Amino acid sequence: MRKVLAIAVLFLVTGQLFAQKVKSNSEKMNTSKEHYTFQLSDKVTRQKVSFKNRYGITLSGDLYLPKNTGTEKLSALAIGGPFGAVKQQSSGLYANQMAERGFAALAFDPSYTGESGGEPRNVASPEINTEDFSAAVDFLGLQKNVDRNKIGIIGICGFGGFALNATAIDKRVKAVATTSLYDMTRVMSRGYNDVVTPEQRTKTLENLSEQRWKDAEAGKPADGPRNLPETLKGDEPQFVKEYFDYYRTPRGFQVNSVNSNGAWLITNPISFMNMPILSYVKEISPRPMLMIAGENAHSRYFSEDIFKIANEPKELIIIPNAVHVDLYDKVDVIPFDKLDSFFKKNLK
C-alpha cells in the first residue's frame, strides 16, 4: 500500500494522476478569473500589484493592508502556496487574516502560473519559485509604508519548502513560518515516504528524457493530463480525496489554479529530480522558524524531518485531528493567533 501511495503522490504533483478526458464540471462553480475563495475582511484593503523577479518574469500579486494604520511603518509578510494554487486561494486567505492583525501581506502567483508571467505555462522550478519569494521581499521593501527590516515569509504546502530555501539564502528575511509543508524535490525524486525504488526512479527519468525528444520535435512542451479527476471513483488514496474536496469543489475552486483546472507540463519534474532544496536549512538560524502541520496530514513527516535537522530557534506545532488541506482555508483550525504572535515577536 505504501508503494501505491508513493507512486500516487509522485504522479499527482507531476500532473499525471487519474487523468480522464471528460468535460470539466467547472461550470458548476464560480469560473470568474477574479473569483476569490474567501471574503475580504472589512478591516483590510486589497490592491493588485506587479513586480519582477531576478529572471525578468513579471509576478502578479495582491497587497493586503490593514485599514487606519496611521503613519507608522508596518511589518510585512510575503505569502506563497500551495504548490499548484493561486493567490485567490490559500495564500490570499492567509494574507487577509494577517493584514487584519496589522501586517502588510503580499500574496502572489508564482512564475509561469496564474496571472504571473513566464512561458511556457504551468511549469515549476525549485530555483525560480525560491526566487519568487525573494522578489516579493524586494517589492515589500520598496513600499513607503513598510519597514524593510521587518519582513517575514509564510509558505504553504510545496511553497513551504521554497520559503525555507529562500530564507536560508536571503538574509533580509527575519522569520519564516510554514504550514502543511511539502518538500517538492524530495517527493518528486523519492515518492511519498521515500519508497520509490532506484528502478522506478530510473524508469521515470527515462520517460522524461524521451519526452524531451517529443517536445523538441513538436516545437513546444506537452501538457500532462489534468491534475485532478472530474469525479472520484471512491477507491483513491485519502489524500487525493482531500485535495479534490478543496480544489475541485466550490470550497476552493479557482479557474486559474493548476490543481483546480489544469495540468503541469509532462516534463515538469525534471528540475526537481536531482535538486534537494533544503540542504542548507541549518543556515536559517539564528533567525526563527515556525512549522505547523496537521496531526493526520499525510505530509506531516516533511515538517517533522526538517524540524529535526534545523538549528534553533525553531518550533513545531501539530494541530490535533487536522489533515493537510485543513491548513489551506479552515480559519478555525489554522492557528492565526500563533502566527501573529510569532511574527510580532520576531519582526523587530
CB-CB contact of 114 with 257 (8 Å): yes
| Cis, peptide link before residue 313, omega less than 30° from 0 | yes
Q: Return the DSSP state at 223.
A: B
CB-CB contact of 125 with 115 (8 Å): no
What is the tens place of the pLDDT at every residue in 134-171?
A: 999 999 999 999 999 999 999 999 999 999 999 999 99
Beta bridge partners of 151: 76
What is the tens place of the pLDDT at every residue in 234-251?
A: 999 999 999 999 999 999
Q: Return the DSSP state at 109.
A: P
What is the tens place of the pLDDT at every residue in 282-330?
A: 999 999 999 999 999 999 999 999 999 999 999 999 999 999 999 999 9
Nine-digit cell string for 235: 477507491
Report the Cα–Cα distance between both ends of the chain, in Å, rounded: 48
CB-CB contact of 85 with 257 (8 Å): yes
Q: Strands, E, within the chain: which ranges?
A: 44-52, 58-66, 74-80, 104-108, 146-156, 175-179, 289-294, 314-319
Residue 189: half-sphere exposure toward Cβ, Cα within 13 Å: 13
Angle at which helices 158-169 and 300-309 pack, to 10 degrees? 20
| Cis, peptide link before residue 237, omega less than 30° from 0 | no
Question: Considering only CA atoms, which of 53, 335, 12 is closest in space to residue 166?
Answer: 53
The residue that leads in pLDDT, 318 or 229, is 318
Helix ranges, 67-173 (H)? 90-100, 126-141, 158-169
pLDDT band at 24 (very low <50, low <70, confident <90, very high): very low
pLDDT given at position 5: 44
Question: Considering only CA atoms, which of 11, 141, 132 is closest in space to residue 60?
Answer: 132
Q: What pTM was estimated for this model as a whole?
A: 0.94
Contacts of 74 (CB under 8 A, 6+ apart): 65, 66, 102, 103, 104, 145, 146, 147, 150
Nine-digit cell string for 263: 495540468
Q: Report helix, strand or coil for 234.
A: coil
Has residue 15 got a pLDDT over 70? no
Task: Give the chain's mean pLDDT.
Answer: 93
Has residue 256 got a pLDDT over 50? yes
Question: Considering only CA atoms, which of 193, 164, 153, 190 is closest in space to residue 297?
Answer: 193
pLDDT given at position 238: 93
pLDDT given at position 185: 97
